[in-house]
Amino acid sequence: MGEFVRVEVADQIATIRLDRPKMNALNGRMQQEIGEAARTVDADPGVHAVVVYGGERVFAAGVDIKEMVAMSYAEMSRHSGPLQDCFTAVARIGKPVIAAVTGYALGGGCELALCADFRVAGASAKLGQPEIQLGLIPGAGGTQRLPRLIGPSRAKDLIFSGRHVAADEALAIGLVDRVVPDTDVYTAALEWAATFTGGPALALRAAKQAVDHGLETDLDRGLEIERLQFAGMFATEDARAGMTAFAEKTKPTFTGR
């Protein structure tokens, strides 16, 4: 339990809850706590899926500008590494991660949502990378994760203009995966996360790593990553249980071993 971020676990689903009223501006302390929460849920074998949620009103309106405005180049040069590290910790959670986006997910808030595997947005949600309007560029992964998700041309449109994207457009361009009524965002994310509980945790981790790491390299190396992960599954009890159950026409019981 941090000052601004807490982890709540129920039914094998962990919620990383952002709670810094009133806009969840991501100050340095909150960034650190996000990284700590991500590493905690990643290491917990009782957690099978993760939801990142900012509450009913807002996901996160961005990095705390008031904290940054007085920073020098030297100070930001030191801070920018830890800033990226806390977001990368979320991206590297070896379990399915769903961002439940209400209200604004702007700047660092949008970059945090990009670290999830899936994004559920409320109908009135707004997403974007408005840093250009401050004379800046995204610094917590936006220039890298956004084009990998929606393509370079669409990413440049959002980054160069700094405009806010409504939920329906975000769905159309692939920035979010589902749009639901505002009041249903967290429930929809939990229901999606629940589809992964009780599943083969080791295979889910391997599949996520194969996809994510494969996107960072060329096809031949990506195929080698897949081959090694695939072969590694044959050292797990879950794979044996799954294949045996298939052959016997029964339902497998996965233990995460």
Question: What CA–CA distance (Å, rounded) separates 151 from 112?
Answer: 18
What is residue 63's DSSP assignment?
B
111 is catalytic: yes
Task: Kindly report the backbone phi and psi dihedral angles of residue 101, in degrees, each rounded to the nearest multiple of 5, phi listed first.
Answer: -100, 115
For the chain, the helix, strand and coil percentages under 3-state DSSP, each to the nearest 5: 50, 15, 30
Given 33, 56, 67, 131, the catalytic residue: 131
Question: What CA–CA distance (Å, rounded) separates 7 from 41?
Answer: 8
Token code pair at residue 76? 């930001």
Given 3, 56, 111, 226, the catalytic residue: 111
75 is catalytic: no
First and final CA of the chain: distance in angstroms? Answer: 29
Q: What is the sign, positive or negative, of the torsion defined by CA atoms of 202, 207, 212, 217?
A: positive
Q: Where are the beta strands (DSSP E) in 65-144?
A: 97-101, 104-106, 118-122, 126-128
Contact present, 15 and 51 (Cβ < 8 Å): yes
The residues annotated as belonging to the active site are 111, 131
